[in-house]
Amino acid sequence: MDNNAADVVVVGAGNAAMAAALSAHENGLQVLVLERAPRHERGGNSHYTGGAMRVSHKGVDDLVKLMPDMSEAEITGSDFGRYPADQFFDDLATVSQYRADPELAHLLATESFATLMWMKEQGIRFLPQFGRQAFRVGGKHKFWGEPVGVAGGGAGLVEDWHNLAEKAGIRVEYETRAVSLVRRGRRVIGVSWQRGDDEGVYSCDSVILASGGFQANAEWRARYLGKNWDLAKVRGTRYNTGDGIRMALDAGAMPYGNWSGCHAVGWDRNAPDYGDTSMGDGFNKHNYPLSIMINADGRRFVDEGADLRNKTYAKYGRIVLDQPGQFAWQVFDAKTSPLLLPDFYRHRRVTRVTANTLEELAAKLDGVDAAQCLKTIEEYNQAPRTDAEFNPAVKDGLAASSLDIPKSNWALPIDTAPFEAFAVTCGVTFTFGGVKVNEHAQVLDQEDKPIPGLYAAGEMAAGLFFHNYPGGTGLTWGSLLGRRAGAHAASS
């Protein structure tokens, strides 16, 4: 291959990018991948995800096809449920407040299973997500979330994709930043790049942009997301600053999606400003439905039990950011603390306090009005409960509904010592604004016409996510659209 040319240049080296690269290669194209990060930080946000992949399936027989390594005990000891494509589509619609692009949502819902089967055929291994997406109820693992995840999580997925690319002879240029698209008329024919003090142009027939959103760009966050967003922690890579989006817009792409919205979660208050590759997603604090959350004023501020975690976690980070001081404490007692996920709550870098009385606990919550906090907990404990049985694997209806801010499910009183509390702030995962694409991942211009030679996949391919996000969808969407981008580039 000419060192300065390829059939396809892929910008980015995460899940969507590498799916595109492998897809283009298997369709006979010479592929070059440009990765802005150094090798040890490669993979963009994919490296930091837990690896769950939302996929439509008809039940255990489909899941065995994806995860043939499951033992008979795992199969018989689990309630995986079913997740038909129409339910996937409905979840995308309701979680986005019916703003999700219906054509893209239909594509994702109906093609998700085939996408994961293609990944499996490439050599990606999937495992059931017992520890993160299920609770053990009545002797069985009851899945309340996505049963399918990538072996080794996001870091394992990135490693596997790159090993496959190396075997295929796909060239990856590290510490190489794509700067602008080279065009002849409307057609994209190359990418200009910088690598230290060097710069140049790679010529190609097609460019696939898969370099993420603009979440690591504090100035863009403040500009598009609004007040205080420059103060948010970044869960993932420091390199996703919107380069791909900017290049596409400069080439005439249509801005699309929820530019004032993002995926944002409860994240450890003392986590670093950017993702730590040694921790992955370990700073997440996702068991908040089993807690009550207290802000600096000593008050609850959200219905912690409004829905299952995967339908609220990506929007509650924004609510935490809106609190005084941009932090909150998740409070648990001895009844629920055994259910806390060890990966998120039991590592040495967690911000935690423990106490044997509520008075002692309130006094230990840094930055919190202790008197009001104690009053809030006592009022919550005394609120009447519905006559329902606690069940963490379903929306159990155990509610404290008489409060000004109710707790709609899992409303056990906080009354059994020892007590624990964990400090959280907002961790932004990825932004929802980007560019418009069609079902082939072609980038569309202001007149809804494909820009010849230009594709986008992953976070920057906008139109699915508004206000909120259904857990496990991002990796599936990236893989699906990356695969389609690579295949279409070969056919055009």
CATH number of the domain residue 143 falls in: 3.50.50.60
What does DSSP say about strands 31-34 and 171-173: parallel, antiparallel, or unpaired? parallel
Across 45-65, b (16+ Cβ under 10 Å) vs e yields: bbbbbbbbbbbbbeebebbee
* Mean pLDDT value across residues 342-367: 97
Residues 320 and 381 in one domain: yes
Q: Does residue 1 register a pLDDT over 60?
A: no
CA gap 123, 161 in Å, rounded: 8
Structure confidence at residue 227 as a pLDDT band (50, 70, 90)? very high
Structure confidence at residue 426 as a pLDDT band (50, 70, 90)? very high
Q: Does residue 112 register a pLDDT over 60?
A: yes
Q: Is 153 exposed, middle or buried (0-12, 13-18, 19+ CB in 10 A)?
A: buried
pLDDT number for residue 64: 97
- The pLDDT mean for the chain works out to 97
Q: Does residue 200 register a pLDDT over 80?
A: yes
Judge contact between 92 and 473, C-beta under 8 A.
yes
Position 1 in a domain: no
What does DSSP say about strands 187-195 and 198-203: parallel, antiparallel, or unpaired? antiparallel
Position 66 in a domain: yes
pLDDT per position as a tens digit, 260-293? 999 999 999 999 999 999 999 999 999 999 999 9
Position 440 in a domain: yes
CA gap 477, 52 in Å, rounded: 12
pLDDT per position as a tens digit, 55-89? 999 999 999 999 999 999 999 999 999 999 999 99
Query: What is the separation of C-alpha 442 from the centre of its chain, rounded to a whole number of angstroms?
Result: 23
Whole-angstrom CA distances from 32 to 10, 12, 17, 412 are 6, 10, 11, 55
Residues 160 and 308 in one domain: no
Q: Does residue 492 register a pLDDT over 90?
A: no
Residues 189 and 276 in one domain: no
Residues 457 and 400 in one domain: no
Across 208-237, b (16+ Cβ under 10 Å) vs e yields: bbbbbbbbbbbebbeebbeeebeebbbbbb
- What percent of the chain has a predicted confidence (pLDDT) above 70? 100
pLDDT per position as a tens digit, 440-474? 999 999 999 999 999 999 999 999 999 999 999 99
pTM given for the model: 0.96
Query: What is the separation of C-alpha 54 from the centre of its chain, rounded to a whole number of angstroms?
Result: 11
Position 222 in a domain: no
Tell me which of 426, 449, 467 is where a domain ends. 426
Residue found by looking up tokens 């407040």 in the block: 97
pLDDT number for residue 131: 87
Residues 149 and 61 in one domain: yes
* Mean pLDDT value across residues 238-246: 98
Tell me which of 393, 426, 459 is where a domain ends. 426
pLDDT number for residue 10: 98
Rounded to the nearest 10 degrees, the angle between the axes of helix 15-26 and helix 473-491 is 30
Residues 132 and 280 in one domain: no
Structure confidence at residue 308 as a pLDDT band (50, 70, 90)? very high
Q: Could you count the other beta carbons within 10 Å of the beta carbon of residue 69?
A: 11
- What letter does residue 222 receive in the DSSP assignment? I
Domain count, the chain: 2
Residue found by looking up tokens 């299973």 in the block: 113
CA gap 130, 311 in Å, rounded: 18
What does DSSP say about strands 206-209 and 450-456: parallel, antiparallel, or unpaired? parallel
Residues 305 and 407 in one domain: yes
Q: Is 260 exposed, middle or buried (0-12, 13-18, 19+ CB in 10 A)?
A: middle
Position 244 in a domain: no
Residues 169 and 74 in one domain: yes
What does DSSP say about strands 31-34 and 8-11: parallel, antiparallel, or unpaired? parallel
pLDDT number for residue 3: 84
* Mean pLDDT value across residues 310-335: 97
Position 2 in a domain: no
Q: Which domain holds residue 113?
A: 8-212+431-491
Tell me which of 411, 426, 441 is where a domain ends. 426
Position 234 in a domain: no
- What percent of the chain has a predicted confidence (pLDDT) above 90? 98
Residues 159 and 36 in one domain: yes
CATH number of the domain residue 371 falls in: 3.90.700.10
Residues 327 and 462 in one domain: no
Position 55 in a domain: yes
pLDDT per position as a tens digit, 125-179? 999 999 899 999 988 999 999 999 999 999 999 999 999 999 999 999 999 999 9
Residues 176 and 289 in one domain: no
Structure confidence at residue 304 as a pLDDT band (50, 70, 90)? very high
Residues 25 and 159 in one domain: yes
Please give the sequence-ordered ranges of beta strands (E in DSSP) within 121-221, or none if there are none.
Answer: 126-128, 134-137, 140-143, 148-150, 171-173, 177-184, 187-195, 198-203, 206-209
